[in-house]
Amino acid sequence: MTTLKLDTVTHYINGEKVKGNNDKYGFVYSPSTGKRIAAVPYASAEEVDETVQLAKKAAAKWAKTSVGKRVEVLFKFRQLLVENTDELAQLIGKENGKTISDAKGEISRGIESVDLAIGAPQILKGEHSVNVGGDINAYSMKQPLGVVTCISPFNFPVMVPLAMSVMAVAVGNAMILKPSEKVPYSAQLISELWEKAGLPAGVWNVLNGDKDTVNAIITHSDIQAVSFVGSTKVAEIIYEVGTKHHKRVNAFGGGKNHLVIMPDADIDKAVDSFLGSAYGSASQRCMAVSVAMPVGQKTADVFTAKLKEKVENLRPGSYDDESADFGAVISAEAKQSILHSIDEAVRDGANVVVDGRNPDVEFKEGFYLGATLLDNVTPDMNVYKEEVFGPARTIVSVDSIDEAIQLINNHQYGNGVAIFTNSGRDARKFTQEIEVGMVGVNVPIPIPVGYHNFGGWKGSRLGEGQMFGPDTARFFTKTKTVSERWFDQSSTDEINFDFPSS
């Protein structure tokens, strides 16, 4: 097993751990204890450029490597991920705060992205047409872009980097990963596993840093594509700056995901589904359910009463506490932001059904919040309009499915949504009319499996690329179409000034 000290963070450049030569750095904290566990170096613009140049050389060689040879590396990498799942889960827990079981679930979903990328030989196949006219054959090929980058968030230190990057490597690119500076350890171990799998030096690189590092990356002339996951505010900046500098960009932002409960739904199943999807991982998921939307007063009364009883029993705890339902939020600043949202909602007239602002926890300095549930929330309140990235969830009651659809469609975000119903007619109406990228029917977190495309609508995504699924291959490749003819020595052509046609 790979051993990683929790007091040393490095970059990973051209196959080597590099301490960095910039005097700028930040601190890494354990959300569970609130204690500082490391300093993380921030890469300078000069270090970014040096890494890009090394990656550019590696990309040229890797692109010429047969796709079969590339897939051999991916097979080994997948096996190493499986063998190191326990250690990866421990690292996720220490730096992110989520429970070990939740971390292992994240790793499992990340491996799905490797499984898809192993199919690169099939995905990369082009098209071929014989004699499209004039003895000309036409065919297409997919070629890698060169040096690409992924900027990943704190909430999924393993799953999202794998989902964003593995296909890019499989199709022949060199990758520069900029993980969240709050969770650098998982990226270090992933780098070690790539190296053990036999990936050539320079194909995979990790640069730690802050917004200055990100700016140096997304404006660099030799970086061809940028994939980002984070808040919508930052996604907008990444998209604007990246496209201005002629990058291919997909930027995944925030969400405000609704769960609609119809009168005919199994209320007990809806309550249980809401609990896990709303409060799991301390609600720090872009696909977490934020809003329960019961249809009709009777549905609202029954749902709220049953939900209240179960939310009151949820317990936050340390990442290694097997009895904890969820862990701490990522930072002291995040905790204060969530508390501000709750307090503001109360001032605006929301009713506190369950108050989790002062949880009873073992580590008092950790960044803990209990599960909070707010009722009587209206669409004009900020707690409804804005994403609250923590365990404060809301109930917004409506009178009909049409009202639910209209409210959701009017929201600025369109990441995920779910409806709980036993009516095929209502489910069909909902799935057809809702303006959201990922929809669940009796499925509370409709995150697609690794071989389906992931992507929200509206303010939840800028750009057309996907994060999971076959579209990742399209995002990280460029298509070349060739028209080819071989002349017979006896053939003669006349000069023709007409536009060519079949």
Which residues are known catalytic residues?
286
Nearest to 377 by CA among 231, 288, 258, 232: 258
Nearest to 30 by CA among 90, 96, 92, 89: 96
Q: Which residue(s) pair with 150 in the sheet?
A: 177, 227
136-144/128-133 β-pairing: antiparallel
Structure tokens, 149: 């980058």
Nearest to 457 by CA among 408, 394, 396: 408
The alpha carbon of residue 136 and the mean position of all alpha carbons in its chain are separated, in whole angstroms, by 44
Residue type, position 430, single letter: F
204-206/223-229 β-pairing: unpaired
Residues 6+ apart with CB under 8 A from 5: none
Q: Distance between CA 463 and CA 455 in Å, rounded? A: 10
Read off φ and ψ for residue 84, nearest 5 degrees.
-105, 20
Instruction: Give the number of other CB atoms < 10 A from CB of residue 487.
Output: 9
Do the beta carbons of residue 320 and residue 100 sit within 8 Å? yes
Do the beta carbons of residue 98 and residue 282 sit within 8 Å? yes
Instruction: Give the number of other CB atoms < 10 A from CB of residue 476.
Output: 28
Do the beta carbons of residue 329 and residue 322 sit within 8 Å? no
For 303-317, the DSSP string reads HHHHHHHHHTT--B-
SS3 420: strand
Q: Distance between CA 453 and CA 438 in Å, rounded? A: 9
Do the beta carbons of residue 9 and residue 39 sit within 8 Å? yes
SS3 382: helix
